[in-house]
Structure 1
Amino acid sequence: MRNTDACLVVPLYNEATVVHDVVAAARATFPTVVVVDDGSSDDSAARAEAAGAIVVQHPINLGQGAALQTGIEVALRLPGIRYVVTFDADGQHQVADAEAMVARLRAGEADVVFGSRFLDDRTRPGALKRLVLRAAIAYTNLTTGVRLTDAHNGLRAFTREAAARLDVKQNRMAHASEIVEQVGRSGVRLVEHPVHILYTDYSRSKGQSVLNAINILTELLYR
């Protein structure tokens, strides 16, 4: 099924190696992909555009939260878009999971669907990453009042109305907790959906597996 009424929003920073393939694969199911190039120093933006994405560029690196907010604003201005999905550029997210999450919105189950890598055993993060993520989840649940099993998963799906309520101010990794907090405060209906996060040799070579988790926890503590 081609989800012509849904838009993928993809924050992008120095992912020239993989972003063309990620966008091309996603567009088979989600024809509309908005990529926000957050000040990349490589040819990420050109490769995303070559794969058919709508590309918006930040002149300097502002952070993933800022890129998501820009992308959501652009998506909501596009005609016919009823659903917005946040999706990573590094190949760790699965298009089939995004499609299943939008299907739950379309069925009226919820207004927001959060992806969770901890609802089944398909995702296998390392022990240190799992420990740090668990700590960040506990902190987010405590401070936001929203109970989730995976508060820092970048795969999320929103109805148009729910996406329009977001106003992300945390530019960097703490944006995930801010989104959870805003969703909880808005009173919209939310559910979690099991997703498979694929930790590839490429993502591990960039140090994302553990470093991002530690960055999340650090920013939360100093928020």
Structure 2
Amino acid sequence: MRGNRYEDVWIVIPAFNEATVISDVVADVLSVFDNVVCVDDGSRDDTAERAWRSGAHVVRHPVNLGQGAAIQTGVEYARSRPGAAIFATFDADGQHRVQDVMRMIDRLTKEDLDILVGTRFANEAPADMPLLRRVLFPLIAKLSPASRKLKLTDAHNGLRVFNRTVADGLNLTMNGMAHASEIIAVIVENGWRVAEEPVEILYTDYSMSKGQPLVNGVNIVFDGLLRRRMRR
């Protein structure tokens, strides 16, 4: 449904070298939501042009800064737009589903919550999820003190929906993939009300080729722990 129901919603899509799929991803999101901002994080291909031609607002980083920086830029752009009240982060590689975002927005507006985080592990791990990810992602959540405190099972899921309070308070300092740990830590620090929502991830050959290697998962954990120590 388009129009009044989602007129105050902004979808933030961080993108780096996603020219292969970005047009389809933006078109899919725009089939439901009017407000989409794609942050081209220093891509070497024509990601930005394709996103713009598909109807998204486009903000460009002249160099690659990392997904955390792209999300921060996108949220800052979105929260500057008149009437913006609800925000979502949505990956550019085609893994996320618009219907999950719609359900999360409906739940956020009905329940006493500030932020909803998608989870792949509400029940059993998806059968099509690569074995390494089945092991790595729950392990990262268990190693994170903030995730354990909030009882999150999939803190590094890129699909999130949040209100204006969170958008105004978000000030990510970790530019790379460790931004996911930082978001969870900031939720704890600010006492924001959080819950998980079961979502489906679409694993394609393309999205799998864009996946993060094991070493990045380890770095995420240690970057998150380092930030926690630095803020003491």
Shorter-chain TM-score: which interval? over 0.9
2:201 aligned partner, one-letter code: I
1:158 matches 2:141: no
What CA distance in whole angstroms lies between the structure 2 residues aligned with 1:126 and 1:109?
35
1:75 matches 2:70: no
Displacement of 1:122 in angstroms is 7.6
Secondary structure class of the residue paired with 1:145? helix
Q: Which moved more, 1:148-157 or 1:183-192?
A: 183-192
What CA distance in whole angstroms lies between the structure 1 residues aligned with 2:146 and 2:76?
29
Which of 33, 54, 62 is equivalent to 2:36?
Answer: 33
1:137 matches 2:160: no
TM-score with structure 2 length normalisation? 0.90
What are structure 1's unaligned runs of at least 5 residues? none
What CA distance in whole angstroms lies between the structure 2 residues aligned with 1:121 and 1:170?
31
Deviations 1:57-79 (A, max 9, x none): 00000000000000000000011
Q: Is the 8 A contact 2:147 2:155 kept in 1?
A: no
Which of 201, 205, 208 is equivalent to 2:205?
Answer: 201
What CA distance in whole angstroms lies between the structure 1 residues aligned with 2:45 and 2:7?
30
Aligned-residue CA RMSD (Å): 1.6
What CA distance in whole angstroms lies between the structure 2 residues aligned with 1:34 and 1:159?
17
CA separation of 1:167/1:142 partners in 2, compared to 1, >3 Å: closer, same or farther? closer
**Match of 1:215?**
216
What are structure 2's unaligned runs of at least 5 residues? 227-232
What CA distance in whole angstroms lies between the structure 2 residues aligned with 1:98 and 1:143?
22
Identity among equivalent positions (%) equals 46
Displacement of 1:205 in angstroms is 3.1
Displacement of 1:45 in angstroms is 0.4
Which of 36, 48, 51 is equivalent to 2:51?
Answer: 48
Deviations 1:20-58 (A, max 9, x none): 000011011111001100000000000000110000000
What CA distance in whole angstroms lies between the structure 2 residues aligned with 1:139 and 1:174?
13
Secondary structure class of the residue paired with 1:131? helix
2:117 aligned partner, one-letter code: F
Displacement of 1:189 in angstroms is 1.1
Instruction: Give the count of matched residue pairs.
Output: 220
Secondary structure class of the residue paired with 1:56? strand
Q: Is the 8 A contact 1:85 1:156 kept in 2?
A: yes
Deviations 1:185-213 (A, max 9, x none): 1112111100001111111234x1x51x5
What CA distance in whole angstroms lies between the structure 2 residues aligned with 1:37 and 1:49?
10
What CA distance in whole angstroms lies between the structure 1 residues aligned with 2:60 and 2:166?
24
Q: Is the 8 A contact 1:146 1:181 kept in 2?
A: no
**Match of 1:90?**
93
Q: Is the 8 A contact 2:125 2:134 kept in 1?
A: no
What CA distance in whole angstroms lies between the structure 1 residues aligned with 2:12 and 2:44?
20
What CA distance in whole angstroms lies between the structure 2 residues aligned with 1:81 and 1:174?
26
1:134 aligned partner, one-letter code: P
CA separation of 1:184/1:144 partners in 2, compared to 1, >3 Å: closer, same or farther? farther
TM-score with structure 1 length normalisation? 0.93
CA separation of 1:122/1:95 partners in 2, compared to 1, >3 Å: closer, same or farther? farther
Displacement of 1:145 in angstroms is 3.0
**Match of 2:229?**
none
